[in-house]
Structure 1
C-alpha cells in the first residue's frame, strides 16, 4: 500500500516529462523526414515524371466537378472573391471615417497582394489538397502498401511524397494567379460599383502602389506555403497508424499543423521580404 501511494506522485511528475520527450521525438522525426523529402526531389522529378504529371492534374483540376470533388482552382476562386469582397467593404468604411477613401486602391493592392492572396491559396491547398494527400498516403500505410513498395525496391519517399510536393509547387503559381485576379476584381467591384468610389482615382492609386517586386515576393510566399503544406500533410500520412481511425486523426492533426505553420510563416516572410517598416516605392513612402 505504501509503495502504491509513493509511486503515484512520481507518476504525475514523470508524465509531463514523457509527453515533452514524445513531442520532441515527433518534431525530430518530422524534420528529418522533411530533409529526406527535399533531398529526393531531383530523383522524383527525373525518375517519376509520369506520376508527377498525374499528381499535377489531380491537384489542379481533379477528376470531378471543380467545386465539389475536383481540383483547387474553383475553391481558390470562390474563397478569394469572398475574402476580397469583405476587404473592400471594410477598407472603404474605414477610410470613409477619416476622409481618405481615395486611398482605397492603394490598400487593396497592398493587402490583396502581400497578405490575402497567398494565405487564401495556402489554406485552400491545406483543406482540399493536403487532407487528400494525408488520406491517400495514410491509407497506403495502414494497408501495408508502402512496405510493399519498399520491398519491391521502389523508393517510397520520392514516389509518394516527392511527386506530391512537386505537384503542389507547380500548381500553386497558376492557382495563386487566379486567386489574386479574383481578389483584385472583387475588391474593385465592391469599392467602385457598390460604394460609388471614383474608378479613375481607385485605379491610379492601385497601380501606383502595386509594383513587380510585390508580385514576386507574394509569389514566393505562395510557393513556400505550398511546400510546407505538402510536406506536413504527406508526413502525417506517411507515419499514420491505428487503422482508418488513425488516418482520420492524422488528417486532422496535419490540417491544424499546416494552418498554424501558415500563420507563423506569413508573419516571418512578411517581415523578411518587406521589412519591419513597410514601404510603397511608387508613392514615395
Structure 2
C-alpha cells in the first residue's frame, strides 16, 4: 500500500479538496489554451472566413429576429448610457449643490463619466447582449453536435466560431461605444441645463475644461480590451457547454458572472496603467 493510498484513506476530506483543486487548475489551463488558440486563429479568419466575420458584425450590431426590431445592441447600449448620463446629472448636481459648487457638474460628466462610469455601463451591456448571445449560440451548437459536424467537414471550429465573434465584437464596439459616449454626454448636459436650470454656458465651460482628449482615447483603448476579455470568456463557456438546454443556461450564467468579475479587474489595472503614473490632480478652471 502506497503512502498516497494511506493518506487518501485516512484523510478523505483532504483528498476531495485536492481533487477539486486539481480540477479547477486544469480548467484554468484549458481556458488559457482556448484563449491563446482563439487569438492565434484571428489571422485565419481574415484569410478564410471573411463572409462569416461580416455576418457576425451584422448580427452583433443590429441583431436578428425580434431583437432587430429595436435595433439590437446599438439601442440597448445607447439606452443604458443615456440612463447613466442622466444619473450623473442628477447625482452630480445634487451632491455639488450641497457644498455650493453645482457648477462643477460638467466636470463630473467630462472627467468621471469618461474614465470610469461609461466603461462600467458599456461592459454590462456587452456582457448581457454580445457575450450572452454568443454563449447561447455556441452552446446550442455544441449540444446539437453542430460543432462536431463542422470539424468533420474540415472547418476550423475555433477560428470559424470563436475567433470570428471576438474580432466582430472588437469591430462593432468602436462605433458603438462612440455613439454611447456621445449620448451619455448629451443626457448629462440635458439633465443639468434643462431639468435643473443650470446655465448652458457654465456647464459647457467646465465640461470643455476637464474633457481631456487623451482620456477619450484611453477610454476607447480600455473598452476594446474589455470587449476582447468578455468575448473570450463567453465563447469559451459556449464552446464547451454540456448537459443539454439546462447546461447552456448554466454556461450563460457562469460566463456572464465571470466576465463581469474579470471586467472589474481589467478596468482597475488598465486605468491604473493609463492614469496611475502620477498621484497629482490639478483642480482648476
Q: Tell me the TM-score normalised to structure 2 length.
A: 0.92
In structure 1, the residue matched to 2:244 is 243
CA contact (8 A) 2:8 2:15 kept: no
Q: Any idea what SS the aligned residue of 1:229 has?
A: helix
In structure 2, the residue matched to 1:45 is 46
Q: Any idea what SS the aligned residue of 2:167 has?
A: helix
1:199 is aligned to 2:200: yes
Aligned-pair CA distance for 1:168: 0.1
Relative to structure 1, the CA distance from residue 279 to residue 156 in structure 2 (aligned partners, 3 Å threshold; closer, same or farther) is farther
In structure 2, the residue matched to 1:134 is 135
Q: What's the RMSD between the two structures over aligned residues? A: 2.0
In structure 2, the residue matched to 1:79 is 80
In structure 2, the residue matched to 1:180 is 181
CA contact (8 A) 2:62 2:68 kept: no
Aligned-pair CA distance for 1:114: 1.0
| Per-residue CA distance 1:95-146 (angstroms, 9 max, x = gap) | 1112211211111101111112222222111101111111111111112211
In structure 2, the residue matched to 1:257 is 258
Aligned-pair CA distance for 1:43: 0.9
Relative to structure 1, the CA distance from residue 142 to residue 66 in structure 2 (aligned partners, 3 Å threshold; closer, same or farther) is closer
In structure 2, the residue matched to 1:96 is 97
In structure 2, the residue matched to 1:160 is 161
For structure 2, the 5+ residue unaligned runs are 1-6
In structure 2, the residue matched to 1:3 is none
Structure 1 residues 226-235 or 188-197, which shifts more? 188-197
Q: Partners of 2:39 and 2:68 in 1: how far apart? A: 31
Relative to structure 1, the CA distance from residue 70 to residue 104 in structure 2 (aligned partners, 3 Å threshold; closer, same or farther) is closer
CA contact (8 A) 1:63 1:70 kept: no
Relative to structure 1, the CA distance from residue 65 to residue 177 in structure 2 (aligned partners, 3 Å threshold; closer, same or farther) is farther
Q: Partners of 2:32 and 2:69 in 1: how far apart? A: 33
Equivalent residue pairs, number: 279
Q: Partners of 1:100 and 1:69 in 2: how far apart? A: 40
Relative to structure 1, the CA distance from residue 279 to residue 210 in structure 2 (aligned partners, 3 Å threshold; closer, same or farther) is farther
| Per-residue CA distance 1:169-217 (angstroms, 9 max, x = gap) | 0000111011101110111111111112121111011111112211110
Q: Partners of 1:262 and 1:172 in 2: how far apart? A: 15
For structure 1, the 5+ residue unaligned runs are 1-5
Relative to structure 1, the CA distance from residue 20 to residue 250 in structure 2 (aligned partners, 3 Å threshold; closer, same or farther) is same
In structure 1, the residue matched to 2:3 is none
